[in-house]
Amino acid sequence: MRSQTGNNLDGPRPVLQITGLKKRFGKRQVLKGLDIAVYPGQCLALLGPNGAGKTTTIRIVLGLVVATSGKISVFGMPLPKYLRRVKYQIGVVPQMDNLDPDLSVLENLLIYARYFRIKHATARERARELLSFFALHNRKDEIIQNLSGGQRRRLLLARALINKPRLLILDEPTIGLDPQARLLIWERLKHLREMGTTMLLTSHYMEEVARLATRVIIIDHGKSIARGGPVDIVEKMLGTEIMEIYGPEEKLSILQQALNNCNVTAERVKDRLYVYIKQSCPELDNATKDFPTVVKRPATLEDLFLKLTGRKLRET
């Protein structure tokens, strides 16, 4: 397994490396010593509830937020010293749509290309390719207001790729989209990843992460609390299967006692018992026979996420 700190001499150098990143906004400590490394060709997903520090981390990399302490380097160049050089090779899909509403679809790409000092002819060629890659070529002269949510997101992606970035930063790239629009974007992103584009992704959609990410870091309260491959991490920390049992609270308590002989962990939420199964356990199947509602299914990233970050609502 690759070293996360990047101090192995023979492996590739990380595209993005963050060590001990801390950020305080007034009294609120948003990041409490975060370590991240993204290696070439990887898609690293940052998972975490709202307020966990995902967007702040991205904004620090882009120089929009100044870190309180910690080290960041991109393409081996330390920030903020080489911020400008680094930004020439980064593409960003922001969480909030900030397309230029005063400009058409094509103009959005051409004007954005100018900020990267890309020659006009090159920019036109690149814009043409990107618009057809994202199925927007028929709408190139459309004004932004007339685009659907999915089209806007695709244009944001096309814009993020106008400078052929070595690192693509995606901050909740399919937020607020319908399933069809989301599928199209996932398919395109997957294609880009297969072509070797390195990505840093934040998302709340576990399915998005499971499909796109090659590595996952779960962060909460400004620190990483779990990391690994999107499948391994669930198996290692939770198990392969999960059983949800609904029933009266007393009966569930008795059941919970009986589980001690099995290689499982259990979590009680009022009238529900979640049993995370690492190895098959015949006693469990027997013990749950009397319960009317028992659901057994493969464990997912979402289960792990909820287990680690809790089931309570965050923004209260």
Partner 1 sequence: MYQVWYRNLKVWLKHIRASLIGNLGQPFLFLLAMGYGLGRSVPEIEGLPYLQFIAPGLVASSVMYGAAFEATYGSYTRLTTQGTFEAILMTPVSIEELAMGEILWGATKGFLGGVIMLITLPLFGVMPDLWSLALIPILFAEGIIFSALGLIMTAIATNYDFFNYFTSLVITPLFLFSGIFFSLKALAEPLRQLLYLLPLSSVVELSRNLCYGRIQDDIVLQLTDVAIFALVCSATAIYLLRRRMIQ
Residues 48-67 that bind partner 1 (CB under 8 A): 59, 62-66
Per-residue contact string for residues 177-216; x = within reach of partner 1 by CB under 8 A: ----------------------------------------
Give the interface segment with partner 1, choosing from 10-18, 83-91, 179-187, 229-237 (CB under 8 A).
83-91
Reported for 112-119, long-range contacts at CB under 8 A and 24+ positions apart, including other chains, are 112/159, 112/162, 113/162, 113/163, 116/88, 116/162, 116/163, 118/162, 118/163
86: CB partners within 8 A, 6+ apart: 74, 75, 77, 79
How many of the other CB atoms lie within 10 Å of CB of 154? 26
Q: How far is the CB of 83 from partner 1 (least distance, A)?
A: 8
Going from the C-alpha of 303 to that of each of 14, 237, 240, 244, the distances in angstroms are: 30, 10, 11, 11
Number of residues that bind partner 1 (CB under 8 A): 30
CA end-to-end distance (rounded Å), the chain: 40
What angle (nearest 5°) sits at the alpha carbon of residue 182, between those of residues 154 and 16? Answer: 70
Q: Which is nearer to partner 1, 57 or 309 (CB)?
A: 57
Pick the closer one to partner 1 by CB: 99 or 262: 99
What would the x/- binding string for partner 1 be over residues 92 to 131, using CB under 8 A?
Answer: x-x-xxxxxxxx---x---xx-xxxx--------------
Q: Which is nearer to partner 1, 15 or 92 (CB)?
A: 92
Residues 6+ apart with CB under 8 A from 22: 29, 31, 32, 33, 34, 67, 68, 69, 70, 222
Q: What whole-number distance in Å separates Cα of residue 36 and Cα of residue 1? A: 15
Shortest separation between residue 112's beta carbon and partner 1, angstroms: 7
Q: Whose Cβ is closer to partner 1: residue 163's or residue 197's?
A: 163
* Contacts (CB under 8 A) with partner 1, residues 4-33: 25
Considering only residues 144 through 163, tell me which ones interact with partner 1, judged by CB under 8 A: 163
Stretch that binds partner 1, among 87-95, 132-140, 201-209, 234-242 (CB under 8 A): 87-95
Residues found near partner 1 in the complex (CB under 8 A)? 25, 59, 62-66, 84-85, 87-88, 90, 92, 94, 96-103, 107, 111-112, 114-117, 163
